[in-house]
Structure 1
Amino acid sequence: MPPKEAAEKTTEKRETRGRSLVTVLLLLVVLLLSGGYVYYFFFGGNSRGLAAAPTGNNSEPAALQKLSLDSIVVNLADPGLHRYLRAKITMEYSDPKLATELNDKLYRVRDTIISVLRSKKTDDLQNEEALKRELLTAINSQLTAGQVRALYFEEFIIQ
């Protein structure tokens, strides 16, 4: 084989290898973008909004709705210790009128939660159910259109 033909075949192999590398990289970028979209859609897209819509069937009880709050970080009241708590809370309710009030009074609800949590010592946080009841009572005292039925900790970290 003449040297000119060998050089052309080598050049063709390099171009083919370069195209396949570009194709693989392009495919990888598309997969990452679509994976990010799926993650955002299912896990992060509606963190402040309402997740469940009430059903139209009147024979069933009202569908539960939820409101997930952003993470709340507070210093704890332990004397001499510098500890903090990070909590992510989701509230559950069934009254559709409460959705508007919760969105309007979200700043009050967050302030109430922060005030309750900031007053706690590390030992006070051991009984999770008592803490949930106290937070529910404090939150519901701020509301007039309905009551929050349940409260869930999605994140609860003491450091």
Structure 2
Amino acid sequence: MNMKRLLAIIIPMFVVLFIGMGVILYLILNQSSPANGAQRDDRSDLKKEVVVFHDDQTFITNLKDSDSYLKADISIEVESEKDAEVLNKNLHKVRDRIISILRDISEDDMKRSDIQEILKNRIKQDLQETLKIDTIIGIYFNELVVQ
């Protein structure tokens, strides 16, 4: 009789213990998941290498149909050192394409509030097409001056 009473106490304790461990394990595993049931993007867990390519020479060109000049210092962010080497090996093409894009801007264009974003998008798209790479993360202006 004592054995039955002992089992009646021990078995519910183990059931409660296992349920509690299951709940704790569930909470720990789901703590690293995004809130609101959003799906996790496993690619975000991988740290991407980011390299900033910068030509030491600034870009100076005249504006379209104008006597004014545009001076720009640009950095290009790519995904790896290999991609930066592609930019460096093709520096002549990079500079030519950027100068062509900047020369096509008028004084009125420069007055637009979104001109920097427009230029960034044009430069990025053009370089990706010209160099046949799709690893450009961003284009950044360190300096953009009209004189």
Same fold (TM over 0.5): yes
Tell me the alpha carbon deviations over residues 79-131 of structure 1, each in whole angstroms, 9 at most, x when there is no partner. xx310100000000113321221111011000000001011101223321111
Q: Output the TM-score relative to the length of structure 2.
A: 0.62
Q: In the alignment, does 2:126 pair up with 1:138? A: yes
Structure with more relative contact order (C-alpha pairs < 8 Å, separation 6 or more) = 2
C-alpha distance in 2, partners of 1:75/1:153? 18
Identity of aligned residues (%): 31
Q: In the alignment, does 2:142 pair up with 1:157? A: no
Q: Which runs of 4+ in 1 moved over 4 A?
A: none
Give the length in aligned residue pairs: 99
Q: In the alignment, does 2:82 pair up with 1:77? A: no
Query: What SS is found at the alignment partner of 1:149?
Result: strand
Q: How does 1:1-150 map to 2 (within 5 A)?
A: 60-69=46-55, 70-78=57-65, 81-125=66-110, 126=112, 127-150=115-138
| Deviation, structure 1 residue 139 | 1.2
Contact 1:97–1:146 (CA under 8 A) maintained in structure 2? no
Computed over aligned residues only, the root mean square deviation of the Cα atoms, in angstroms, reads 1.5
C-alpha distance in 2, partners of 1:111/1:156? 17
Contact 1:97–1:145 (CA under 8 A) maintained in structure 2? no
- Unaligned 5+ segments in structure 1 are 1-58
| Deviation, structure 1 residue 148 | 1.3
- Unaligned 5+ segments in structure 2 are 1-44
Q: Output the TM-score relative to the length of structure 1.
A: 0.58
